Amino acid sequence: MEKRLKRVRGLVVNKYPYRESSDVIVLFTDEYGKIKAVAKGRRKPGSRLGAALENFCLSEIVLYLSRDRELQIVKEAQLLDPHAELTRNYKFLLGASYVSELLERGTEVFSPNRALLELALSSLKLIPEAVDLKKLLAAFLLKALSYLGHMPVLDRCVACGSREKLLYFSVEKGGVLCANCPKSADDSVMLGARGISELQRILKMPMDRLNRFKADSDLLFDLSVKFARHHLEIPDLFARKVDI
């Protein structure tokens, strides 16, 4: 049985109490993707594993790691970035919880995805300065889904292949539909040429440039949440959150 001491950089995406005084920490790490690890005695006074394993902390963690166990064991943890700005405002925390829930529920253990981790980290940084939180989260979700192999098709009609008059979007079909094909999907939504071009831009644009363009963020956010639920096959993803 492989069991080794490993040093990883990881974002804490969730934690929950475990046994009498320990916590299980859900981490999204650079090298291994999602892993779950026990922080023994973390809830005892004076535990050295306190500060670095709070939600949304980016930390360097030394683990006893074994792929054939469900729970790894935290040996040491050192805080790199607490993302403290997020705690200034309830909305920031709510926005950040979309990022962490996507990483926790939308990925499998031991499936590394560095692009997704870096996207999550840049999104957490940008949340406190976002002019439009829904637009930022829509962009995060669409990019994250792309990194997870579910990139929406935006340059041609998913029914007939046409590149002309792209006006509708279907979550179930995974992309846009042209003026001739809205009936080919039960859930097609009219976005218009402008809405489609907003989707294209949001997917291409770096996260730190989003503030520069306007979008119908209510609609894009709603579509991106539905897109994530459908393509990750998690119908209740984000279902417990209040409105942003």
The residue ranges that bind Zn ion (CB under 5 A) are: 157, 159-160, 162, 178, 180-181
Cβ closest to Zn ion, residue 181 vs residue 215: 181
The answer to whether residues 60 and 8 touch, using CB atoms and an 8 Å cutoff, is yes
Kindly state the tokens that stand for 74: 């935290």
Minimum CB–partner distance for residue 159 and Zn ion (Å) = 5
Instruction: Compute CA distances 5 → 48, 61, 63, 76, 231, whole Å.
Output: 18, 10, 5, 10, 35
Q: Are strands 58-65 and 33-39 parallel, antiparallel or unpaired?
A: unpaired
Kindly state the tokens that stand for 78: 């050192």
| C-alpha torsion sign, points 50, 52, 57, 63 | negative
Minimum CB–partner distance for residue 188 and Zn ion (Å) = 11
Minimum CB–partner distance for residue 181 and Zn ion (Å) = 3
Element spanning 33, H or E: strand 33-39
Of 15, 17, 21, 27, nearest in space to 7 by CA: 27
Cβ closest to Zn ion, residue 108 vs residue 186: 186
Minimum CB–partner distance for residue 164 and Zn ion (Å) = 9
Minimum CB–partner distance for residue 180 and Zn ion (Å) = 5
Cβ closest to Zn ion, residue 97 vs residue 170: 170
CB atoms within 10 A of CB 15: 19
Q: Kindly state the DSSP code that residue 187 receives in the 8-state scheme.
A: T
Cβ closest to Zn ion, residue 19 vs residue 183: 183
Encode 107-141: b = buried (16+ Cβ within 10 Å), e = exposed.
beeeebbeebbebbbebbebbbebebbbbbbbbbb
Minimum CB–partner distance for residue 163 and Zn ion (Å) = 10
Cβ closest to Zn ion, residue 117 vs residue 181: 181
Cβ closest to Zn ion, residue 8 vs residue 159: 159
